[in-house]
Structure 1
Amino acid sequence: MEVTPLRKAARRGLAEEAADRVREAIFAGHFRPGAPLREVELAASLEISRGSVREGLALLAKEGLIRGGWHRPTTVVDVTAADVAEVYSVRAALDRLAAVTARSHATADELDGLDALVTELATAVREQADGPRLLALDIAFHDRVYAAAGNGRLLDAWHSVRSQVFLFQLQRISSAHRHYRGRVVAEHRELATLIRAGDPDRLARIAEEHVHTARRSLLTELGDGSR
């Protein structure tokens, strides 16, 4: 069986490096939802021990990105309607709070950074960048919103679902790429504008609806009727 090539692990914390490299491969689409992750193959590709790989996979399991257990294969999580409903309901509440809090606390530099990311997104769409590239910019935008909110516990809550959000959005893009490309710039531009100087109540609604739009799109692609 051909092993997906991975970037070699630098010798810092090998478990963390292993987690980083496998996460990158998942987000790049090399390991699809449901794909097996075999310690022996990963260790050979990364040129580190199976123990370090095992510890790295445990970190990814805490992020909700992979699943496994005793006498069960380790796999990338499947994108199910139930998981989507749970993760996106949590994200909707978090994004709403992050956006409204960022409106009150963001510095001028942080606001400019959001605008710059929207411009970069627009350029990427115009240049026909692939889905993972657009999604990386999308998530980077939300990372900056959470950072601008200045609430450490809120940021930790975002990080607890961030990897799952990335994976689920990757599935959304692969299934409905044109729909995503057609909306991503306008939606993020509106959020950036409202965070800079918008009505807080409208910002809260738009931030939440931004998440629910993604949820509905993905559930449609998964064939779930309870949207």
Structure 2
Amino acid sequence: MSTFDIMQLRKADRRGLADEAADLIREAIFAGVFPPGSPVREVELAASLDVSRGSVREGLAVLAREGLVRSAWHRGARVVDLTAQDAEEVYSVRAALEGLAGRRAIGRVDLDALGALVDDMARRLAAGAPSDELLALDMEFHDTIYRSADNRRLLEAWRAVRSQVHLFQLTRIRLGHHDYRAVVVDEHRQIVRLLDAGDAAEVTRFAEEHVHSAMRVLVGQLDGSTTETSG
């Protein structure tokens, strides 16, 4: 990673806060400053963010627990590679979580709040907003369902994979945003309808298929990009 790229990161507002360092590095990963597989070096990050190396090290440990970076002895930290196998693993776990969260959210979730998020997606889509803005609303939509499910361990399990899901969805968008934009509003509006109807089996089925559909698209994209690279 060049010095020029490193300097694109925002400065930390307060010195010595590992959580803030984690937030800023995560933000940079999502923005593509650190692409999948690229190194994230403590010394450069500490200078760029204007925090101590200890704060950066602790921040990277947070991101390692989220599955965004991997560290190896004497090799430093790197952003995770995104392979088809990684996508299948992450999305399979997410599908199981989404099914459970959807069932538990029936009768608990604020349907008006979910509907407002979908309406905002539709307005931004019609206005030609960037896909990452739609994804931010997409993630908030699912956060709302998980918070409403009234299951602390389920919420913790979602938070453990949330950053990986966000990164994989950003990759899906970057490799082919038209597919995402074509389905994002209708699929989330259907989830609201099913939650309103209260059929637990149908909510579970659609919530899981919502995730599996995204997985199939991303796996196909990753397989295709690998073929192009090797060819």
- Name the TM-score class by shorter chain: over 0.9
Provide the rounded CA distance (Å) in 1 between the counterparts of 2:15 and 2:112. 34
Show the counterpart of 2:85.
82
One-letter amino acid of the counterpart of residue 103, structure 1? I
Residue 12 of structure 1 deviates from its aligned partner by 7.5
Provide the rounded CA distance (Å) in 1 between the counterparts of 2:161 and 2:53. 27
Given the superposition, is the C-alpha separation of residues 12 and 143 from structure 1 closer, same or farther in structure 2, using an over 3 Å criterion? farther
Show the counterpart of 2:177.
177
Q: Secondary structure at the match of 1:128?
A: coil
Residue 58 of structure 1 deviates from its aligned partner by 0.7
**RMSD (Å), alpha carbons:** 1.4
5+ long unaligned stretches in structure 2:
225-231
Show the counterpart of 1:65.
68
Equivalent runs, 1:1-227 vs 2, <5 Å: 1=2, 2=4, 3-11=6-14, 14-106=17-109, 110-223=110-223
Report the TM-score when normalising by structure 2: 0.91
Equivalent residue pairs, number: 221
Provide the rounded CA distance (Å) in 2 between the counterparts of 1:88 and 1:67. 19
Provide the rounded CA distance (Å) in 1 between the counterparts of 2:172 and 2:148. 27
Query: For the Cα contact (< 8 Å) 2:37–2:79, is it kept in 1?
Result: yes
Given the superposition, is the C-alpha separation of residues 39 and 146 from structure 1 closer, same or farther in structure 2, using an over 3 Å criterion? same
Query: For the Cα contact (< 8 Å) 2:16–2:52, is it kept in 1?
Result: no
Provide the rounded CA distance (Å) in 2 between the counterparts of 1:49 and 1:28. 23
Comparing 12-21 and 83-92, the one that deviates more: 12-21
Post-superposition Cα deviations, 1:90-125, rounded to whole Å, max 9, x if no partner, equal 10000000011101322xxx2211111101111121
Report the TM-score when normalising by structure 1: 0.93
Q: Secondary structure at the match of 1:223?
A: helix
Post-superposition Cα deviations, 1:151-206, rounded to whole Å, max 9, x if no partner, equal 11110000010011001111111111000000000000000111122422111110
Provide the rounded CA distance (Å) in 2 between the counterparts of 1:145 and 1:12. 35
One-letter amino acid of the counterpart of residue 148, structure 2? A
One-letter amino acid of the counterpart of residue 193, structure 2? T
One-letter amino acid of the counterpart of residue 214, structure 1? A
Comparing 49-58 and 29-38, the one that deviates more: 29-38
Provide the rounded CA distance (Å) in 2 between the counterparts of 1:114 and 1:160. 23
Same amino acid, percent of matched pairs: 58
Query: For the Cα contact (< 8 Å) 2:15–2:51, is it kept in 1?
Result: no
5+ long unaligned stretches in structure 1:
none
Residue 218 of structure 1 deviates from its aligned partner by 0.3
One-letter amino acid of the counterpart of residue 42, structure 2? E
Q: Secondary structure at the match of 1:114?
A: helix
Post-superposition Cα deviations, 1:33-59, rounded to whole Å, max 9, x if no partner, equal 112111111111110111110110011
One-letter amino acid of the counterpart of residue 141, structure 1? F
